[in-house]
Structure 1
Amino acid sequence: MLYKTDNLIIGTSGGADSMSLLNFLYDYNLKINKFNLIAVHVNHCLRNEESDRDAKFVEDFCMNKNIKLYIKKIDIKKIAKEKKIGLEECGRNVRYSIFNDFSLKYENSKIATAHTLSDSMETFFLNLIRGGNLKSLIGIPPVRKDIIRPLIFISREEIEFYCKFNNIKYVTDSSNFDRNYNRNKVRLDIVPVLKKINPSFNSIFKRFINNIFQEEEYLDNISQKIYLNTKLENQKFNIKNLKNLDVCIKKRVIFKILKDFSENIESKHVNLALKSIENNINYINLSCDIKIKLENEILELRKSKIDKKLVWKYKFNKINDLREINKIFLVKKILENFKKYDLKNLVDINKIENLKDVLFRNRRPEDIFCPINRNITKKVKKFFNELKIDKNLRNTLVFLAEKNNVIWIENIGVSEKYKIDENTKKAFFIYQTKNNVQNL
């Protein structure tokens, strides 16, 4: 988990789980002196004085142990309302966005979260209730990219024993007992019944999850080999041998094929593609931006034509969940070491701070843009024609703009007018997350 790690960013709420993790890593690091520990506490501003109490508790602990701490105070209720999503989802998105910001700030870093076996169990049942696939039933993985979860096989009972044995104090979040949240219903109502039926349920669940993981890994390896054998050039796939496979493998291969084209693939898209293949349907639109062409057992993925009347826009925020096109863009404020970042995605803050109504949006007919390193302003349409950008793709690109003045374009970068230069003191770094933040 900690191979080649210099900086360890630890999500710290102040609860029993996170305080156990922080305390353990602190003690462990005293012995090996390998990591720079960085605690990050996110105050969601949802529980008034209780939220402030939690932040103060974490602050006092870190000060006593001389652990570097960052506290971020975020109005989650306001953001959730703007984005029209639930508080739980919004809070998770914001937390991971903040953790990711710090992982970019500190080189050779990993993010440690205090998820436990109990959290994984809750996730398992929530995914089961929603009708998830085999992979979703694995629960919360111990490692995903640069995120590690050292406590994922430790139960809540073991955490509480560890805290008591080591005299570790912690705070309790009163919202954990609010049954308006489905996760709390699972933890408070469903899991206790199962443990009453079988007191060894924790051990059984661990064994069950391990079995699922092994089967999932085996099936994924098989489907990956088949997927690679089908792959041709230019988003084309030879599916001649796909029809004879078991439906389980078929769906997995189709998922990989579609994932090659778009990050936002759901089971409904896989089922539609499977229907197209089995019934020899030549053309089918899978979503607002993906179309399948099937001819002579060659499957080709194309961009669907987007309705030009579809107009969307979002305020310029740290997290920009562009739901019309299933993309999430994050914005990070940079104060130094600009060369570490992709320069074309850096926007000089001083050059845009006096602009009003800066928005993330799709393109407009009147848009103008000044290409980088070219001191000429031209119509975006003409600029796209010069670059020979696919017409189906143009309406899916994300713009940062004020009125018709385009500041930045997805995949192209910043305007000459707003790029950083030798006088730049601060900049915004714009980047897209490959996975939905909530699934990190």
Structure 2
Amino acid sequence: MLSAQKQLQEFIKSNALFKPTDKILLAVSGGKDSVAMVHLFRSLGFSFGIAHCNFNLRGQETIRDQEFVRSLAKALKTDFHLKSFDTQKFAEKNKISTQMAARDLRYAYFEEIRKGFDYKKIAVAQHQNDAMETVLLNLIRGTGIAGLHGIKADRNNIIRPMLCFTADDILKLVKENDWAFVEDSSNASNKYIRNKIRMDIIPEMEKINPSLAKTFDHHLKYFSDLEAFLNSEVAKIKADILIKNDRGYQIERKAIQNLKPQKLLLYEVLKDFSFNETSITDLINALNGIPGKQFFSDTHHIILDRENIIIHKIENKHLSDLAVFESDLTFQFDNYRFKQNKLTAFPSSFTSNENTIFVDQSLLVYPLKLRFWQQGDVFKPFGMKGVKKISDFFINQKVNVKQKASIPILINGDGKIIWVCGLRGDDRFKVRSNTKKIIIFEVEKP
């Protein structure tokens, strides 16, 4: 116990996480990691309160967790903050996964409590194994050097004091002190990628290196220092070669050709403009070609000039959403003209193209809405089983950023996307064998 206390105390001090007199908000799920954090903070005499989130995703188990944490706070005579969320509804409304929804809700609530009750920092109980899982997850998905430092001990008012312990350290500590905790049943499911890494991949790696978590912790500190050094050098390069002009920025071709290593440094210089590695490779390959070639990111546009690359911000349209009512036979949005017609009889066959869709009228909730594409939009392309981000669909259709900012999206009254106008309808609204009434939407492109 004393060695664990000393280990935690030294970690907090060496990383300047907070002062001994600061009041800290502890995020407590009821699992062994957060319970160990509570007891260690208590034994060290720190001032703290406890916050718990009920995401209502695991039935009665969430009530059990909530009441356990409430009882823990009461036994320790410390402040208790609780919030219950309709996480599923939030995820559907924002078109994100339930895991991402829970994360966003959790941190927004913790920050609200931190400000409202004058807590200095928010402490979460992630440990060395969590940091290792994060790195492996980043490597699987694809990452730059920023994905290799794992989890920062202090970032944006969130501190992670338990990073000085491994999962085994915490389990041993809990058993030795007979601290009660609750188990989250979802941790035993391998349907989540992180759980697969924890349950299947890491045990195989530990057969080769039993001290894997400690080894990772050593290397993560090295990568963190390496990232800090790279950022410092890139800041100097940007100050030297990135020249501001009336419409944005420019970089001399010669300056790019002198960069070594060229791809890494140019990516770091341009990543604030949302250009990915593929775009950087294409840009480098075009440097010795004829002027005029263009490159697009989600936010910016590069033109390859004779002596420079010119970087401009893409100006998004600010056209108000258009409400479409059932009685509207024709309507216009931006430079697109639309027609809406009800079929009086069920046709024997359908002749459609990208500018026409047939929709099951019973599924429509009026008024419909026309607007431009937004980040996070998802739909189920006609003929597909799963959902797809419209941004990914645009990439597959070779639609550049400038074009996609001008493509109207037809949206049902319940929020579901009916049509990426002029490209593809949503499979959920297609005409089926039991459809009784049909509406045809047509678009005339500018």
Q: TM-score range with shorter-chain normalisation?
A: 0.5 to 0.7
The 3 A distance-change label for structure 1 pair 108 and 40 is closer
Identity of aligned residues (%): 28
SS at match of 2:130: helix
**Residue pairs, 1:282-301, within 5 angstroms:** 282=292, 284-295=294-305, 297-301=307-311
- After superposition, the Cα gap between the structure-2 partners of 1:266 and 1:100, relative to the gap in structure 1 and judged at 3 Å, is farther
Q: Give the distance between the partners of 1:202 and 1:294, measured in 2 at CA.
A: 47
Alignment of 1:213-362 (within 5 A): 213-234=224-245, 235-239=248-252, 240-247=254-261, 250-259=263-272, 266-268=276-278, 270-271=280-281, 274=284, 279=289, 282=292, 284-295=294-305, 297-306=307-316
C-alpha distance in structure 2 between counterparts of 1:132 and 1:301, whole Å = 24
Instruction: Find the residue that maps to 2:256 and give its secondary structure.
Output: coil
**Aligned-partner Cα distance in 2 for 1:65–1:265:** 51
Q: Which residue of 1 aligns with 2:34?
A: 18
Scaled by the length of structure 1, what TM-score is found?
A: 0.63
Residues in 1 aligned to 2:250 and 2:237: alpha-carbon distance in whole angstroms: 11
Relative distance call for 1:256 and 1:25 in structure 2 (3 A) is farther
What secondary structure is seen at the aligned counterpart in 1 of 2:35? helix
SS of match in other structure, 2:164: coil
Code of the residue aligned with 2:26 in structure 1: it is I
Q: How does 1:360-439 map to 2 (within 5 A)?
A: none
Indicate how the Cα distance of structure 1 residues 49 and 303 shifts in structure 2: closer, same or farther if over 3 A, else same: same
Aligned residues: 312
CA distance in 1 between counterparts of 2:290 and 2:239 reads 22
Structure 2 contact 30–182 (Cα < 8 Å) conserved: yes
In structure 2, the CA distance between the partners of 1:306 and 1:276, relative to structure 1 (3 Å rule), is: farther
Question: After alignment, is 162-171 or 288-297 more displaced?
Answer: 288-297
User: Quick check: 210-219 or 46-55, which moved more?
Assistant: 210-219
Distance 1:187 1:232, change over 3 A: same
- Pair 1:65–1:308, CA change in 2 (3 A): closer
Cα shift at 1:120: 0.9
| Alignment counterpart, residue 161 of structure 1, candidates 172, 188, 204 | 172
Does the CA contact (< 8 Å) of 1:110 and 1:147 recur in 2? yes
Matched to 1:87, the amino acid is: T
Q: Would you say the 8 A contact 1:226–1:253 is kept in 2? A: no
Residues 255 and 270 in structure 1, CA contact (< 8 A), matched pair in contact too: no
1:85-114 alpha-carbon deviations (Å, 9 max, x no partner): 222122112111112222332446212111
Measure the CA separation in 2 of the matches of 1:266 and 1:55.
Answer: 43
The residue that corresponds to 2:131 in the other structure is 120
Whole-angstrom distance in 1 between the partners of 2:317 and 2:91: 28
Q: Please say if residues 113 and 147 of structure 1, whose CA atoms lie closer than 8 Å, have aligned partners that are also in contact.
A: yes
- Seen in structure 2, the aligned counterparts of structure 1 residues 185 and 312 have a Cα distance that, compared at 3 Å, is farther
Per the TM alignment, residue 275 of structure 1 is displaced from its structure 2 partner at its CA by 5.2
What SS does the aligned partner of 1:40 have?
strand
Task: Look up the match of 1:55.
Answer: 66
* CA positional deviation for 1:283: 5.4
Alignment deviations for residues 374-424 of structure 1 (CA, whole Å, 9 cap, x no partner): xxxxxxxxxxxxxxxxxx9xx99xxxxxxxxxxxxxxxxxxxxxxxxxxxx
Q: Structure 1 residues 156-165 or 228-237, which shifts more?
A: 228-237
Alpha carbons of 1:75 and 1:243: their partners in 2 closer, same or farther (altered >3 Å)?
Answer: same
Instruction: Verify: 1:104 aligned to 2:124, yes or no.
Output: no
Tell me how far 1:309 sits from its aligned partner.
Answer: 7.5
Write out per-residue CA displacement over residues 149-174 of structure 1, whole angstroms, 9 at most, x where no aligned residue: 11123111000111122222111000
Distance 1:278 1:312 in 2: 46
Displacement of 1:40 after TM fit? 1.3
Contact preservation (8 Å) 1:273, 1:292:
no
Does the C-alpha gap of structure 1 residues 230 and 121 become closer, same or farther in structure 2, counting only changes over 3 Å? same
Instruction: Indicate the SS of the match to 1:223.
Output: helix
Secondary structure at the residue paired with 2:144? Answer: coil
- Tell me, what secondary structure is at the counterpart of 1:132? coil
Give how far 1:255 is off.
Answer: 3.4
Give the CA deviation at 1:49: 0.6
Larger Rg: 2
Shift of residue 244, structure 1, vs aligned partner = 1.7
Q: Look up the SS of the partner of 2:114 in the other structure.
A: helix
Give structure 1 stretches of 5+ with no counterpart: 314-356, 364-391, 397-440
Query: What is aligned with 1:328?
Result: none
Match of 2:86 among 71, 75, 82: 75
Amino acid across the alignment from 2:39: N
Q: Distance in 1 between matches of 2:115 and 2:278?
A: 35
Q: How far off is 1:299 after superposition?
A: 3.9
SS at match of 1:141: coil
Judged with a 3 Å threshold, the aligned counterparts in structure 2 of structure 1 residues 244 and 265 are, in CA distance, closer, same or farther, namely closer
Moved more, 50-59 or 84-93: 84-93
Contact 1:124 1:136 in 2 (8 A): yes
**How far apart, in 2, do the equivalents of 1:310 and 1:179 lie?**
44
Deviation per CA, 1:228-283: give whole Å up to 9, x if none: 22233343243442322224x64345434441x5xx66545555555565656545
Retained in 2: the 8 A contact 1:116–1:154?
Answer: yes
- Relative to structure 1, the CA distance from residue 65 to residue 228 in structure 2 (aligned partners, 3 Å threshold; closer, same or farther) is same
Cα deviation for residue 210 of structure 1 reads: 2.5
Q: Secondary structure at the match of 1:172?
A: coil
Q: Which runs of 5+ in 2 are unaligned?
A: 1-15, 324-366, 374-401, 407-446
Query: Counterpart of 2:101 in structure 1: which amino acid?
Result: C
The answer to whether the 8 Å contact 2:291/2:306 transfers is: no
Residue 190 of structure 1: CA displacement? Answer: 0.8
Change (3 A) 1:241 1:106: farther
- CA change 1:303–1:217 in 2 (3 A) is closer
- CA 1:279 to 1:312, structure 2 compared with 1: closer, same or farther past 3 Å? farther
- What value does the CA root-mean-square deviation take over the aligned residues? 3.2
Q: 1:151 aligns with which of 114, 139, 162?
A: 162
Measured at CA, do residues 294 and 88 of structure 1 come closer, stay the same or move farther in structure 2, by a change above 3 Å? Answer: same
Deviation at residue 148 of structure 1 after TM alignment = 1.0
- Residue 366 of structure 1 corresponds to none
The SS at the match of 2:191 is: coil
CA apart distance, 1:300: 3.7
| From 77, 81, 90, the counterpart of 1:66 | 77
- Contact 1:273/1:286 (8 A) holds in 2: no
* Residues 323-342 of structure 1 deviation map (CA, whole Å, 9 limit, x = unaligned): xxxxxxxxxxxxxxxxxxxx
Shift of residue 192, structure 1, vs aligned partner: 1.0
User: Are the aligned partners of 2:34 and 2:124 in contact in 1 as well (CA < 8 Å)?
Assistant: yes
